[in-house]
Amino acid sequence: MRSENETLIEDYIRRYNLKDIDGMMALFSDDVVFESISAATGIMSVQGKENLRKLSEKSGEIFKVRRLTPVTTVLDDDNAAVEVNYWAVLAMDLPDGKKADEEVEFRGVSFFEIKGGLISRLTDYM
């Protein structure tokens, strides 16, 4: 039987893959903290659901299609760690030289903090 937290994480990944921004935002607390830590782009951090919405809408435009595929998930009562494979097709040329229609792939891990049945913190290492 799936726990509520496992169902929440699976729902987030499904909505992320569909670029369902409204559906994704329904899964976050109002005071959510999101951090993305990448060797390629550095550290980016936003606080609050509306700021996360703006970032999600902007990043969604970069990809024609994108897919997070969970590899391994570790859960406890308030936290989850999910190793993911990431694949996407670019919708536009990027400053780093990648071109529209190019595929990108990498591995990463996402750490979730869950409070009151909502994601209160999400930290991605990609």
Which tens digits make up the pLDDT trace of 85-104? 999 999 999 988 999 999 99
Query: Given this model, what pLDDT does residue 2 score?
Result: 77
| Residue carrying the six token digits 């999101």 | 34
Q: Could you say which architecture CATH assigns to the domain 4-125?
A: Roll (3.10)
Residue ranges in the chain whose pLDDT is less than 70: 1
Query: Given this model, what pLDDT does residue 123 score?
Result: 98
Q: Model-level pTM?
A: 0.93
Query: Given this model, what pLDDT does residue 96 score?
Result: 87
Residues whose CB is less than 8 angstroms from the CB of residue 86 and which lie 6 or more positions away in sequence, other chains included: 66, 67, 68, 69, 104, 105, 106, 107, 108, 126
CA atoms within 13 A on the CB side of 96: 6
Query: Given this model, what pLDDT does residue 79 score?
Result: 97
Query: Given this model, what pLDDT does residue 1 score?
Result: 66
In this structure, are residues 45 and 64 in contact, taking their beta carbons and an 8 Å threshold?
A: no
CA atoms within 13 A on the CB side of 122: 26
Query: Given this model, what pLDDT does residue 39 score?
Result: 81
